[in-house]
Amino acid sequence: MTQNRRHPLSALWHELNQAQDDFARWMGRMTGVTAGPELNVWEDEQNVYAESDLPGIDLAKLEVTVTGGNQLTVQGERAAPKIEGASWLRQERPFGKFVRVIALPSLVDADKVEAKYETGVLWLTLPKHEAAKPRKIHVKGV
């Protein structure tokens, strides 16, 4: 039977991440480096997973790092579209440099992280560090 377990501090975790995102957007307006990209992050007992829509990204300008065991950084640059002889009516897709830093819910083994880019989507598999994995303890009778 699969049980949907929700961490008791998940609401606080969500609020802290939202505050961090809001601050990053504000700093992006000040520095010219946009906050983003948006990330979906989930976990199971063995891994933390992340995905992000990054259409049109030059992989040579995309960098993914894990520092401190649980800090994920995705940064890169989306080239500005070159459109001659036309006026923009709407421009909602951001371009230029971007950086996104999030705290992961568990320590991960940075040496075993796998990243792939397929059909405009960045997929990350971040194996949990052994210290973060649940351990079953055998109880002996007396």
Give the integer Cα–Cα distance in Å for 66 and 68.
Answer: 7
Give the integer Cα–Cα distance in Å for 106 and 133.
Answer: 9
User: What mean pLDDT is predicted for residues 99-123?
Assistant: 94
- Length of the chain equals 142
Question: Which pairs from 15-19 meet CB under 8 Å and 24+ separation?
Answer: 17/102, 17/103
Question: Residue 80: CB partners within 8 Å, gap ≥ 6?
Answer: 95, 96
Residue 131 predicted with pLDDT over 60? yes
Residue 62 predicted with pLDDT over 50? yes
User: Which of 132, 133, 134 is closest to 69 using CA atoms?
Assistant: 132
Which CATH architecture best describes the domain 33-79+95-131?
Answer: Sandwich (2.60)
* Structure confidence at residue 87 as a pLDDT band (50, 70, 90): confident
- What confidence score (pLDDT) does residue 133 get? 75
**Which of these ranges, 8-17, 23-32, 89-98, 130-139, has the smallest mean pLDDT?**
23-32
Domain ranges of the chain: 33-79+95-131
Higher confidence at residue 51 or residue 29? 51
